Structures are given as structure tokens and as C-alpha cells.
Structure 1
Amino acid sequence: KPTLYKTSPLKEMNIYLANSTQKSLDSFPLPMSLSKMTIKASFLHRAQCDLGSILLKCPSLEEFCAEGHGMRVSSTVVMSFWWPKRRQELHPHPFSLRSLVLSNIAFAQPELENLLRLTPNLKELKLVAMMLFYNKMSFDWIRLFRSLTENNITLDKAHFSNFESRMSEEETELLLSNVYPKSSQERSFWAFDVTPQLLQTVFLQPDTLTTLEVLWKVASLSPFTEERKRPALVAAARLVHQYLCVSPHLVHLTTLKTEIHLEDLDLFHRAGYTDLDRRQSATPEEIASDNSPLPPAVWGCQGLRSLHIVLHAPFPFHPVHSRILFGYISRVSPALVDLQISIPQGCHDPFSNGHKSPEYYLQLKGGLCLLNRMKYLQRLKVVSDPEYTIKTCEDWDLNWMLRSGFLCRDARNKRHKEIMSWSEWRRNEDQIERTRARVWQPARSYIDDTNHHNSLTTDMPILDQLQDLGLLLDVEDMLERVIGPRKYRPMPSLERLSFNYPILLRPEEELKRGHLGLSTVVSPEPLPSPSQCLLAKQLEQPTARSCLKKKLAGAARFHCCIYVETFTIHDLVFRDNPLRQLLTQFQDEYKRTRDEIVAINVCIPPISTFTSLILTRRPFSIRTVVQGSLNSILQNCPALESVKVNGLFELALTWTPLIIGELQHFALRNLLLDSVIFKPDSLEDLMLFTRLKVLELAAIPWRDYGLYDWSIILELIRSLPISLDLIHILTQGQRLTPQGLQKILNILPVVSK
């Protein structure tokens, strides 16, 4: 059957479940064409998943992954493989499965071994933090390794760990000698199983190790459950960090998944810089901490392409902690393509009223912008607590990551204002650092003169780059680029982004998510329709809008005459404080004379089929300035190609880009503004979101905003992929300079008539 669009069979499916009473995870209508499937579940109640049923429905399935997140031991997802004779008759051949990854899942070992008999092509088997089954029995790894051998399965990638128990020495030896092939370049271990002997064996592989995973997963909501395992976790993290700093065999390491502690990254002991706006000197402990004759070491795996870390940070979490984290990673691993940071619940305060998530990393002072140094970063995921959302950042804290937010003048001004508010902190920060420098400089000179520690000497160039690690100065220097030239492109390679969300989204989609806690600029509520227009008689509020919208349904062109009576301040209908303040300014500005009144109560009903819109300000006996916005019109009329406004110098228009959103180009091709009060910033911002062919502007600027700077506007137009066929500029009280005229000629194409 012919279709409008080209289609292809569905190959991959990702299923995410949270706080669900779903009992059977294999009951979804799965297409036979699937070759890859992922199920991620959070806070379920003994949900069942029959892998046999899934494989029967999807005979081409090659990769299957099931993960449990934030699960109590009593509410684990239970995986099974039921393969009776009836199913054997339906599917007599071996399965196509090549990869099986189970994390934080319960699976009876006999059923898993039955599955292995039917998967001769299996190349990846990862059983991470497997939970206790009904009989409370942990996996017997020696028996499972024997089953792999009996079924002639040779794995390229493997991981085996029980959540509640450590691997024995015999099991570890068999894993390294029999399960991992000699040619394998990947090693994956459970954090509780890590010992100095194990790491020594792993890191002694000369130049072959490309992937190292030291995994740890929280399976209980209670931090006390994890506390009894804390010494083992701390020891494993410290061992891994030490080997990463000193091992000479990390040249080819490109993928690292491990647990780290913030104090290991705090090279200059600045984690205590939490109150520099209230003190002006370093504490004795901070000065003494630099008395070591040797500088700290950094990771030797500086060619990393993928980094997934579980970060353990102190409570409470302060912006300086995230500055240390982001600053360290961006300097030591500048070639990263994939970065994922998880902050587990065990780091949160167990005595507070509920767990508290570290939230400050999203604010400007948290230093997220330091990741701008990583020009190749494509995927970024930062997760703190899956139960709680981030609520402490403003839109301008994050919208620099998008081209639209980076270029938005209002957001740039707010970022600049935020930097100015750091002056007291920065002054004290500089004073403390001068005190500490008197201690650090002799140690640095000692290293340069003696040259007795090759690995540390090799790290000196990176240590020089890390001198400002944790300081607000480091963030300020980076933000000078973010709020600097418009040609600067932040995070040029970023394709996918997630903050506390299970899946990676496009950056503009992730930053638009409402529950991210961003104070996004909100458009005004739809206002009543004009009291008179060319195609509708007078209508009384509140039925005016709905009636007019019904009459206009399906219309392509709309010509509206704005006819406004006198209004009072109570008629000004807006929702958010900035707009309310703006209206108050309007009221104060125009109440000086009795014949000038601001009227705001006008809007156009957004009809999605509009392609042309004409607005005319109808003369009235009392001079009334009408203020409106193009935001609602352009957002709700995606097919709109032509907008013409005749304002009689009494219509003030604005257009404000969505602070969080993708750089969406509207269908608008013709913009004609005649005798309209139009803010210069609005014109500049609007140019970024259109592909105009005709621009006719006979306008006057808003009061107190000065004249149009046509040199800036014309340069902006020239820098954008806009090819104008017609441009008409006329501004009251301004003459276009010869240089401006020449710029217009340069903008217009040669073929233009």
C-alpha cells in the first residue's frame, strides 16, 4: 500500500518505567523487526519480565538490556526465561542474541544457564549487581563460568557481580584467566571486588587496555544500607585514582567508567571555599595543606573519549564542588565525546527531611560552562537523584548552551549582571590565593630544579592549566567568551543532553522540559480579541475570543483593525513579574499628559492556518499607545509568511526569543512595519529566527532606548543566511549614513531588482 512517507521496520526500542504498578514487562506489543531493546525501570513492585517471551516475539533481537534504578531489594525486577516444549516447537533454532546486559536485576541462575544453551553467538554478557532471588541465593560464578565453556561461548565483553557479596579470589582468577580472552581490550569489575592485586594485574597489560569499568550501583533508597559498605567503596575509588595517575600503560585508554571522590580531584584543597563572600583570609588548614614538596598528580589517560563516573561529594554540596569537578574533567580529558556524571543518594544528608540533591551545578557559578573547553563533546548526562528535580537555576544559567540563548541580548545582560555580583567573592578569593601562593611557589621551584619525578614533571603543563581549579575566576574567564563575541560558538559538537532525565534528548528539548525548574520567559495569557475588526461585529468579553476563533477557523489571511478604548491598570493582563514591571513603567511614562494612555488589552487569536496577517491601528480621538507582542502570533501560526503592521506611531511591538528552546526558523518571509514603535533589540533577535526575503521598516524606536544602530543590525543581517530581495529602511529622526547605504548594497544580492 503506497504511503506518503518512506518507512522502515522498527529496529530499536527503549522502554522507561517509573513508579508503575506494571506487573509484566514483556506484555508490550513488540514488533518482530526489533534488533535492539532496552528496559529501564525505577521504583517498581516485583515486576516480572520473561525474556523467553520477548525472544519469541522478536526473533531478530541481537541486543537486550534491562536495568533497575533506585530499587529496594524487596521490589526488584525479576527476570525469567521460561522455555517449555511448546515454545521450542515454535522456535527450534538458536537465538540471534549477541549482547545481554542485566543491571540490578534478579534472575534465577538455572534459568540463565538454560538461556545460554540457546545463544551460541553471545559476545557480551554483563550481569551487574545482580539481586538476590526468592531463594536468597547469590550467583555461583564458578558454575556459570563452567556453563560458558560447555556452551562454547567466547565473550569479548563481560562483567559479573552480586550486589550483596564480593567475588572470591578463585572466582576472580577464573574470570581473568578463562572468561576474558587474551585479546580483549576491555575490563569490567564491581567496585567491591577491586583489590590492589587485581588492579596491578589489569594495569600491567602493556598498551592494550582501551576500556576500564569499575561499576557501582545504588540498589536501596536508604543511605544507611550503603554506609556499611563505605570503606570498601572508598578503598576501591582511591586505588583506581592512584593507578590512573601513575600507570604508564594508559596510552590507549579511551573509555573509563568508575567511582571517584571529589577530594581526589581537589588538587589545591579549595573545597572549603564555600563562604568567601564573608571572610577575607585562608584558614590555617588551607595554608598547611600546600606544605607538601610535591604537587598533586593527575590522570594519565588524557586521550579519553568516554567517561562515566559516580561522584562522591561532601554534604552539603556547594558550587565550588562542581567547579572542581567540571574544571578537572575539562582540562584533563579535553577529547571527551561522551560524559556521564552520577551523584548517588548515599552522598545526600541522611538526617535531613528527605534526601537532598546537589543542585548548584546548573547555576553559572557552578561552572558547568567550563565544559565549553571540550570541543568534541557530543553527549552530556548529569544525574543526581532520580526522585528529585532541580529547582535552583534561571533560564540564562543554561541557555548559553543553545545558539539562540547565547545570542539573546537579554540573557547575555543577565549573565553579565550575575558576574558583576561576584565582585566581593572574587576580591576575597584573590587575597586568599596570594597567601597560598607564597607557600606553593617554593614547592614548584623545587620540582623545576630537581626534576626528580618524571611522571609529575610530565604533568606540569596540565597542572599549570589547572592552577585556577575550583576558583570563581576560572568560571569568570570562561564566561567572558560566553557573553563575548557573537561569533563564538558554545559547545559546538553537543548533540544530546540530560539533566536528571533517563534518556538523552536534543539540547533544546532537554532545556525546554518544564520540570527542570527553569524560570522560562512566559508569554502573556491569551487576551480578549479586538473590540472591532473587519470581519466580526462587536463582541462582548469573555466570549469574544472563542467566537472570533471559530469564525476564523481555516482562514489563510486575516486583516485586523485595532480599535481601543481607554483602559485602567486593572485591565493589564500579564502573568509574570518582569512584564508587570514593564507595564508599570509604561503607565508611569505616559501618564504625564492626560491625552496619552497605555492600552495593552489587545491580541490576535492564533490560527495555525494563517499565511498572511495585516494589523492596522485605527485612529481614535484620545491618543492611546497600544503595546503588543509578535511572540504568540509567530509561535502559534507556523505557516505565517507575511506580517504587515500599520501603527500610526501608536502601536508598540516587541518580539522576545524563547529563552529555552531550539533555534527554530519561522516561515516568515515578509516583514513590513509602518509607523510602528519597535525596540531595536527585538529586531536584532527576530533576525536570528527568520529567513526573510522582504524587510520594510518605517519605524521609531521605543522611548529611552535610543536610536537604531544600523551598523550593528546590518552587520548582523549580513552574517546570517538571509538573502533579501527587498529592503526599505526609514526611521524617524535618523539619516542613514553613506557607510550604512553601502552595507545595504552589500547585503542585497546582485540579481535583486
Structure 2
Amino acid sequence: MDNKTPLLLRSFILSGTQFRQSYLELLLAAVDPLQFTKLKLINLNDVHPGYNMTRLLSTLAPFHFSAFHFSVRDKFQTLEDIRHKMIDICPEATEWSMRSYDIVPQILQELESLPNVITTLELPRPYSYHQESCVANISVLNNSAILHRFLCTSPHLVHLKNIYLNAMQFEGMDIHRRSVFGDLDHWSKCRFTNAAVTDKDAIIPGIWACRALETLHINLHGHEEDGLRSPVHSRIVFGYISIVCPNLTDLQLTVSSECRKRNTAYTKNTSQVYFTDFCMRLEGGFCLLSRLKYLTTLRLDAYSISRKSGCWPVDLNWIAAEGNKPQNRDKRRKVVAAWGDKLDIEKRLEKERLTTGARYAKALALENGDYVEEEEEEREGKRRGLAGELKNLGLYTREEWIARSEDARVHDQIQNSEPRKVQGFQYRFHGIYICHTHKQPLQRKASEETFKMDMDRKVALNHQGVELGNLELEEEMVNKRLYVILVHE
């Protein structure tokens, strides 16, 4: 084999399969060590005999990997294992790949001791849902806080990919502690609480340092007392992402149907599981994503949209061509105009928030000078940097809601029937992809396909373009699994 021309192979990735060590050694002997820079063997099925790690490390010594991953199904890795595989084998790596349930606080400490040059972090999908679900596995409840802190201290990160299940706790985005405002429809229950957080595992809100982030794939969870169930929570998520990550081109958000609250002074039962409820109505702030000037791919999987929080056409049709018609603009303005009582309640809660001293939550990664404390803002009479941009995070802002849902740039980019070039890509908006409608639930077998709702013709189409029936868009609510996808062509 030494006399043959090396294989022109640059990367090799396997997941959830069997692959003997002898086969891997034959492969590595056939490639050029200078060209072969990426090796990922993810959740391998255990084979007999198992891998000899000493021999494997010796085989890998000549290579200079930019990315490396090795894991075996159902076997947790120790800190020493991860140190060998991620740091010793590829000390110059700019891409890290690890299973999220292998993440422990010591790993973060290890990463912080290294030069901060990571541009890509990938957490591959676990072989088993039980391994990562916060509902099925309490031990992974705090992994999202570790990931959040990593984002707050990684200014060079560009891609955060393949994040599944228990990955991102939205409370880390709530730098003003407005998530406790709750549902303003229940005005009699609205009271601002400023109880001290005593749980050592509670997430500390902060601002991500990775402002050059282009790819963001996360699963949203809510582990604190208020959960992930009110419009203010989705406003915090959409507002935070659209301001802190202005360069996003690929955004994929997943909201699981179930989540678990941590054990606190208010939730003493650690087994408390609740159903999430992600708001996609106009007041939920989805239109704030129109701030993202370079966004070309958007996917939202919301498994928990109830009839109460689900959306009507008036909430989403601003994305499609018909949403720009005068009658639809008027409908949106009427929706926003009806927020008067909620704005009054919110103003009272905001006053209580400031009066009780809960101005800004303790935040991470703010020492870069972009952030100004509220006291300083009061003295100077102004805000600057991120503090100014995040001033209204989570609040109703009538004027911006109207402007965002009628943004000429958004309509020009995503409703036009002709493909437009954005950052070197061509894409066309393909409507709102759904698996179910309230009027016509799809059979389980059929729901494995992707269906398209043609907003202009008001019909549902399958992937072959065949009509499935008319949709009464002005009457029926999309209240099941919802997809919103911008697709490249």
C-alpha cells in the first residue's frame, strides 16, 4: 500500500454503526496525513474485541486533525477520555464535536484553559432519547447552563450545529428578568417577584460573546419556575437572537413539548414535568427575526403550540405575498392596537421591577465595554452598545411590531416570486410548511412527508405539488406542529 497513491480523502464520518479498529487502521494507512483532517466516529455500536485506545492514539499520532470525535454507544466518557480525544489528539482544532450528555463543568474549565480559537461546536444527536432528555434523565438538566456559559466566553464561534434535546435554556437570555411577567392576559395574577436565586445550578443570564455567529441550531427549554409558556418568553428568545447574533444565515429552533423544572424553593419536587407552550402569535415577537439581514435558512419546530398560543393567518401572513395587501396590514394594526390593557399591566410590572432593585440580572461577558448599567444610563440620559439595543428585550413595542411586520426589505427578499441572491445563495420563499391543520389532520403515515401551504392559492400541497384540499386560512388556526422554513434553491 505504501507504493500506491494515497486516497484523496479529507474527512470520514460514521454514526451509529459498527466499524472495527482494524478497518479504521487500514483506512488511515491509505490516506495522506496532511490532507485527512476530519475524523468522526459517533456512537459506534460496541464490537468485539473493543477498541484499544493506546493503539488508536498511536495510529492517530501522524495526523493533524481540525476536527475529531470518537464515542461508543451507551458508554459515558470520563474527563480524561475527552481530554485525550479532543485536546491531545488535535490541539490545534478549530472545530469541536462531543455528545452533549458527556459535557460536565470540568470540560468547560478545560476549554477555558486553552487558546480560544474554536469556530465550530457540534453536538451530535444521541443514539437514545433517554440519554439526553431532561424529562427522562435528570442528570443532564444543567448541561444547557454549561453551553450558555461557553457561548458567553467564545467570541470566535461561527457555527453551533446539530443541537438536540436539552441544549439551551431560554432563561440565560433573560438579562432583565422579565420572564417572570408571565401571561398578561391573566392580569389579576401579574405580580413582579424578585426572590433571590439560591440554587447553585440556576443559570446566570448573560450576553453571548459570539456576535459573528452564522449558524445557530438550538433546542429551547425552560427549567426555572415560570417555565417556557408565555408570550414574553418567545419575545425574549426572538429579540435576544436577532440582536445578539446579527450575522446569522442559518437559524434552526426546536421547542420540545415537555420539559422539567429544576428543584428550587418554589418547586421542591424535582420530578415536576410540564408542557411547554411557545407563542407564535404576533405578540410573541416572531417578526423581530426580520432584523436578521443575512438570514437565508430558517426552521422552527414547535411541538407545543396550543389553541391559545397558536397562530392565525394574521400572525404569520406578513411573510407571504398576501400579507402585504392593505386589508391584511389593517388586520395586523388592529391586533396591535388591542394591546392597550396589556401595555398598562406591563408598564406597572416594569416599574415594580425597577423599584425592587431587579434592574439587570447578573450577566456574563459584559466587560467588553459594550454594556452600560442602568444607573449610568440614568446619569448620561442615553444608552449605547448592546445595552441600548437590548433595552426593551421582552417588552411589547407597538411601533416596532408594525414596522417589522411591514418591513419592505423582508417583503422584497422573501415574497418575490423570482429567486433573489443573498450572500451568494439563491432562495425562494416556499410558504409555511405544516404537518397538521386544525381542519384537516393528516394520517400518521402521511405526516412523515413535508407539506406546503400555498398562501396565495390557499391550498395545501404535498412535496410533488399535488393539491390536498383547500384551507380556510381566515378561519382555521395552525395549532399543531409548525414549521417555518426558508429553502435554498
Work out whether 1:325 is the aligned partner of 2:237. yes
Cα offset, 1:318, TM superposition: 3.4
- SS of structure 2 residue aligned to 1:347: strand
CA deviation digits over 1:24-75, x for unaligned, max 9? xxxxxxxxxxxxxxxxxxxxxxxxxxxxxxxxxxxxxxxxxxxxxxxxxxxx
Work out whether 1:236 is the aligned partner of 2:110. no
- SS of structure 2 residue aligned to 1:310: strand
8 Å contact kept, 1:395–1:519:
no
Cα offset, 1:304, TM superposition: 1.7
Work out whether 1:156 is the aligned partner of 2:80. no
Return the alpha-carbon distance in structure 1 between the equivalents of residues 177 and 52 of structure 2. 44
1:439 alignment partner in structure 2: 356
1:287 to 191, 194, 198: 194
Return the alpha-carbon distance in structure 1 between the equivalents of residues 57 and 179 of structure 2. 45
- Give the alignment's TM-score, normalised by structure 2: 0.67
Return the alpha-carbon distance in structure 1 between the equivalents of residues 473 and 344 of structure 2. 33
- SS of structure 1 residue aligned to 2:117: coil
1:341 alignment partner in structure 2: 253
Would the alpha carbon gap of residues 216 and 267 (structure 1) be closer, same or farther in structure 2, given more than 3 Å must change? Answer: farther
Would the alpha carbon gap of residues 358 and 116 (structure 1) be closer, same or farther in structure 2, given more than 3 Å must change? Answer: farther
Return the alpha-carbon distance in structure 2 between the equivalents of residues 505 and 345 of structure 1. 33
1:376 alignment partner in structure 2: 294
Q: Greater CA radius of gyration, 1 or 2?
A: 1
Work out whether 1:467 is the aligned partner of 2:405. no
Return the alpha-carbon distance in structure 1 between the equivalents of residues 246 and 159 of structure 2. 13
2:40 alignment partner in structure 1: 126
Cα offset, 1:261, TM superposition: 0.9
1:396 maps to amino acid = V
1:489 alignment partner in structure 2: 410
Return the alpha-carbon distance in structure 1 between the equivalents of residues 110 and 132 of structure 2. 33
CA deviation digits over 1:247-276, x for unaligned, max 9? 3xx343322346221222222333343331
1:325 maps to amino acid = V
Return the alpha-carbon distance in structure 2 between the equivalents of residues 131 and 430 of structure 1. 55
- SS of structure 2 residue aligned to 1:158: strand
How many residues are matched?
402
Work out whether 1:299 is the aligned partner of 2:208. yes
1:256 maps to amino acid = L
1:409 maps to amino acid = P
Work out whether 1:252 is the aligned partner of 2:156. yes
- SS of structure 1 residue aligned to 2:432: helix
1:635 alignment partner in structure 2: none
1:424 alignment partner in structure 2: 341
Determine which structure has greater relative contact order: mean sequence separation of CA pairs < 8 Å that are 6+ residues apart, divided by chain length: 2
1:165 alignment partner in structure 2: 75
- Give the alignment's TM-score, normalised by structure 1: 0.46
Would the alpha carbon gap of residues 326 and 160 (structure 1) be closer, same or farther in structure 2, given more than 3 Å must change? Answer: farther
CA deviation digits over 1:415-446, x for unaligned, max 9? 223223333322212221122122348x67xx
8 Å contact kept, 1:290–1:440:
no
CA deviation digits over 1:387-441, x for unaligned, max 9? x9xx933333223224x24422232222223223333322212221122122348
1:591 alignment partner in structure 2: none
Work out whether 1:277 is the aligned partner of 2:213. no
8 Å contact kept, 1:221–1:345:
no
- SS of structure 2 residue aligned to 1:365: helix
The 5 Å alignment of 1:542-561 reads none
8 Å contact kept, 1:306–1:337:
yes
Would the alpha carbon gap of residues 490 and 98 (structure 1) be closer, same or farther in structure 2, given more than 3 Å must change? Answer: same
8 Å contact kept, 2:99–2:126:
no
1:335 maps to amino acid = N
Q: CA RMSD in A?
A: 4.5
- SS of structure 2 residue aligned to 1:400: coil
Mark the runs of 5 or more structure 2 residues left unpaired by the alignment. 199-203, 262-272, 373-384, 417-424, 439-452, 460-469, 476-483
The 5 Å alignment of 1:577-726 reads none
2:341 maps to amino acid = E
Cα offset, 1:333, TM superposition: 1.2
Return the alpha-carbon distance in structure 2 between the equivalents of residues 478 and 218 of structure 1. 40
8 Å contact kept, 2:251–2:299:
yes
2:265 alignment partner in structure 1: none
Cα offset, 1:339, TM superposition: 1.7
Work out whether 1:392 is the aligned partner of 2:301. no
Return the alpha-carbon distance in structure 1 between the equivalents of residues 52 and 431 of structure 2. 42
Cα offset, 1:133, TM superposition: 4.3
- Percent identity reads 26
